[in-house]
Amino acid sequence: MSQLTQQIHSSEIGDILENSLNGIRPKKEDYLRLLKSDDVYLMGLVAGNITRKKFGKKVSFVNNIILNYTNVCITDCKFCAFYRPPNHEEAYTLTLDEIEARVKTGWDMFKIRQVLIQGGHNPKLGIEYYEDSFKMIRSKFPNVGVHGLSTSEIDMIATVEKSSTKEILSRLKDAGLQSVPGAGAEILTDSVKEIISPKKIDSDDWIRIMKESFELGLPASATMMYGHVETDNDIVEHYDKIAKLQKDLNGFMAFIPWSFEPNNTLMQKEGTVTTGAGGIQLLKMIAISRIIFDGLIDHIQSSWLTNGVGMAQLALQYGSDDFGGTLIGEEVVSCTGARSTELTDKRIIESIKQIGYSAEERDNFYETVSMR
């Protein structure tokens, strides 16, 4: 009997982990047992084993810029340090020429393969602003994928245009949108959303807009922001909703659990959340995510942005297979003052190779660009 098998047999979650090693996904009632367990190292061994079976010791990343096109927002999320109300002295919205200049710099300097486009809920921006931006990027930089707009931004555009979100998505796709980020999910239970983002779309709307995206042929990533006011039961609901949607429509390319950073946010000022969740919790969420989504969602991202490079390296051994992006130009998390929020591909490749893995540069759709 191997040492891993012995450890599994003596663990209170041993039956779940043994099933996972045999390709049997946990049931919803198992999710809570995983979350309540402190056996993080053992979960990591199992999740790492599952990941290496699928990917070997290969880790992907994407050369990208993040285009925070406006910080004007009327949604006032308590977890956000980035937004500014309309007419604030620090409010901005990029022009089409400024967007082109940023993408051109990203392509010329870094040969980016993706531009991640996210901003605020700006009531002054109609759909033509986004259509013009996407058309310009796709025509002038054909190797750069357009990965853009959270479900709540799409809902905002629909409100401004007095249109349906499906019509907005269809027009944006025609203009060059290729995939949708998972932002805006946070935790997919409305009792949590009512506390942290009461003006944002609810859980059902997030799922509905994702469904519409998938039906139009726009794939997406799914995210979970943990480490604030959510309970373990809320996280169970989040996982379950993502899993059900994936079983139905198979549109998620990746799952990204990321840790809430409270610095400079209203939640910190109010004393609701004063410190981040920390490294052990990150490794636990990565491992559980791999175990829950094995056979459903291929890629689990290691999320260096809020946890740093060292934790991302560990996460690669706890079930993640993707390092994420270089995120040149990131402005949202950097507003918390947490840490440097951009990396070069050289730094990512070094970080991957330091732990004995090989690096693969990918594109927007997780297709290989080159082995590095």
Question: Which positions make up the binding site for S-adenosyl-L-methionine?
Answer: 79, 186
The count of other CB atoms within 10 Å of the CB of residue 163 is 14
Strands 64-67 and 114-117: parallel
Report d(CA 9, CA 116) in Å as an integer: 44
- SS3 call for 301: strand
Report d(CA 202, CA 270) in Å as an integer: 23
Residue found by looking up tokens 């004995």 in the block: 356
Annotated binding site for (3R)-3-methyl-D-ornithine: 150, 303
DSSP state of 26: P
Annotated binding site for [4Fe-4S] cluster: 73, 77, 80
The closest alpha carbon to 158, from 150, 149, 167, belongs to 167
Per the CB < 8 A criterion, the answer to whether 135 and 175 are in contact is yes
Annotated binding site: 73, 77, 79-80, 150, 186, 303
Strands 299-300 and 358-362: unpaired
Report d(CA 150, CA 166) in Å as an integer: 14
DSSP state of 341: -
